[in-house]
Structure 1
Amino acid sequence: MECSTLLLLTLLGSLFVEPGLGQRGDVDINQWMQDKEKLIKNLEDQLKNLQQCKDEVKDLGTRLSTAVDELERQKAETEKLKQQNEVLKTRLDATETEIGKLKQNGGQTAPQIAFSASLVNLGEIYSGPCTDKTLIFKRVFSNAGNAYNMNTGIFTAPVNGLYHFTFSTYGYNTHAMGAILMKNNARQVSAYDSPSSDGSDSSSNAAVLQLAAGDKVYLELWDNGRVFDNLNGHTTFSGFLLFPV
């Protein structure tokens, strides 16, 4: 504003030092006054335009500052979104890897292996005491994969994997009653009940075994033990593949 005022005063001052004023009587004073008024009006208009330009520049500066602030905000937001995108990309890559593994495993059909049998398929039987203590379960309810041999009582693992086995035994109080789950001639778990006054006894057990292809699993009687079975299926042996390994 000070510059504008100084400019106006300078221009006004020039009005009174114009050469030739000493012969003003020879000039049309009215015309001279009109010219000066036009000049002053023109200067005032220019000052107004100058002030308007200053206001517009100031407004433009404010808008520019606001735009810069918005740009910085958007830049920060973009950086945040970029970081989130990197996290999501990492998760997506991990998910795709896992899906690939599942597809690969899914392409390999897991063998269907399961069996369940009871000791006798006709009438009733007392087994034991005997020298050959392997129990042979003749009444086969299911034998998917044909891994159980009903002639020997032995289950042979067809593939490496984790297998689940269960067994139950029943007997009377004349002898000890129970059985031992065997893996390749090595004891795993057992079920046992000694003779009691209640007339009959029962026991059961289960185990998950890791087997290699060709491993053999079967049940043996306790020494001097005896079990009983009939078509009610009191003494049983079952197993199935949980999953290959």
Structure 2
Amino acid sequence: MNFRGLVLLTLVVSLFLGSGLGQRGDNDWMKAQEKLMVRLQNEQKDAEQQQQSDLDALEVRLNATVDDLRRQKVEVETLKKENQDLLIRLISSEQEIQKLKQFVEKVGPRVAFSASLAPSGEIYKGPCTDKTLIFRRIFSNVGNAYDHNTGVFTAPTNGLYYFTFSTYGYSTHAAGAVLVKNAVRQISTYDSPSTDGSDSGSNAAVLQLSTGDKVHVELWDNGQVFDNLNGHTTFSGFLLFSL
């Protein structure tokens, strides 16, 4: 039963009792009933004010909750937008990385070397049975395809390679050498014995190699070359592009 119903019931009971007692002219009782009515009315007013106050406080809390939810919604939408931008950048970065990988695979490994015959002092090579020239003074050897212990270059991948070599010798012997691919002569330098004191020569070629093909430089029969730290007799090569 709500507060209004309680007040109404109290009034009915009061009137019923008042009608019976009023016949005896009980004025004190009527005054008491009036005080009771006033008190009940005041209590009802206080209750209604408290109820309204509670409703107002609840409305304030609800409005604050709604504002928080709106702010959270805005923050969620902002995070979604930022995540979407990050995803787009991530996809773009992955695509660039894939392109770089494809480019590297297409271009192939980095291969280049350059060396001279004498690592120190002076050296005369030839005439000799083992005619392979071993260039031990390494200027560069990117990819480690050239073996300074054997003088042999081994192709690490299929491709076109550029090779060049130079020779220097004195007139007492034939001065020159031959570029050899898989035991097959390709190009050469050559100067026969003469009275001009010394001779030098150089040559170059672009060779198509398969993985594992071997290239080296060797002396002519009865030939001789000379080198010192001035680097007169050299061997160099590099990968132009993979095939």
TM-score scaled by length of structure 1? 0.57
Question: Structure 1: which amino acid aligns with 2:227?
Answer: D
Equivalent position amino acid for 2:219 in 1: L
Q: Which amino acid aligns with 1:117?
A: A
Structure 1 residues 45-56: aligned runs within 5 Å: none
Q: Distance in 1 between matches of 2:113 and 2:214?
A: 14
Which portions of structure 1, spanning 4 or more consecutive aligned residues, are displaced by more than 6 angstroms?
none
Q: What letter is aligned with 1:170?
A: Y
Decide which of 121, 124, 135 is 2:122's aligned counterpart: 124
SS of structure 2 residue aligned to 1:195 = coil
Query: How many residue pairs get matched?
Result: 146
Give the distance between the partners of 2:214 and 2:158, measured in 1 at CA.
Answer: 12
Q: Please point out which of 88, 109, 126 is paired with 1:111.
A: 109
Deviations 1:139-177 (A, max 9, x none): 000000000000000000000000000000000000001
- Say whether 1:200 aligns with 2:198: yes
Deviation of the 1:105 alpha carbon: 3.5
SS in 1 for 2:119: coil
- Counterpart CA distance in 1 for 2:106 and 2:238 is 18
2:106–2:242 contact (8 Å) kept in structure 1: no
> 2:52 — aligned with what?
none
Cα deviation for residue 195 of structure 1 reads 1.3
Q: Hey, what does 2:60 align to over in structure 1?
A: none
Q: Give the whole-Å Cα distance in 1 for the aligned partners of 2:133 and 2:192.
A: 19
> How far does residue 110 in structure 1 lie from its aligned partner after superposition?
2.6
Whole-Å Cα distance in 2 between the matches of residues 143 and 106 of structure 1?
19
2:189 maps to 1:191 = yes
Which residue identity does 1:205 align to in structure 2?
N
The residue that corresponds to 2:158 in the other structure is: 160
Q: Deviations over 1:72-91 (max 9, x none)?
A: xxxxxxxxxxxxxxxxxxxx
**1:199-240 per-position Cα deviation (integer Å, ceiling 9, x unaligned):** 000011000000000000000100000000000000000000
- Give me the whole-angstrom Cα distance separating, in 2, the residues matched to 1:153 and 1:207: 18
Match of 1:150 among 148, 159, 162: 148
Q: CA deviation at 1:196?
A: 1.6
| Matches of 2:106 and 2:187, distance apart in 1 | 32
CA distance in 2, matches of 1:234, 1:104: 40
Q: Tell me the amino acid that sits aligned with residue 140 of structure 2.
A: S
Report the alpha carbon displacement of residue 106 of structure 1 after superposing the two structures with TM.
5.5
Deviations 1:90-124 (A, max 9, x none): xxxxxxxxxxx999445656311000000010100
C-alpha distance in 1, partners of 2:107/2:133? 33
User: Which residue of 2 is the match for residue 230 of structure 1?
Assistant: 228
Q: What SS does the corresponding residue of 1:135 show, helix, strand or coil?
A: coil
Q: How far apart, in 1, do the equivalents of 2:190 and 2:106 lie?
A: 41
Where 1:232 maps in the other structure, the secondary structure is: coil
The 3-state SS of whatever aligns with 1:231 is: coil
Q: CA 1:123/1:173 → structure 2, altered by over 3 Å: closer, same or farther?
A: same
- Structure 1 residues 106 and 140, CA gap change in structure 2 (3 angstroms): closer
Structure 2 Cα separation of the partners of residues 109 and 167 of structure 1: 25
Aligned equivalents of 1:142, 1:103: Cα separation in 2 = 25
2:170 maps to what in 1? Answer: 172
Length-normalised TM-score, structure 2: 0.58
Q: Distance in 2 between matches of 1:204 and 1:120?
A: 17
Q: Give the Cα separation in 2 of the matches to 1:115 and 1:137.
A: 11
Query: How far apart, in 1, do the equivalents of 2:148 and 2:177 lie?
Result: 18
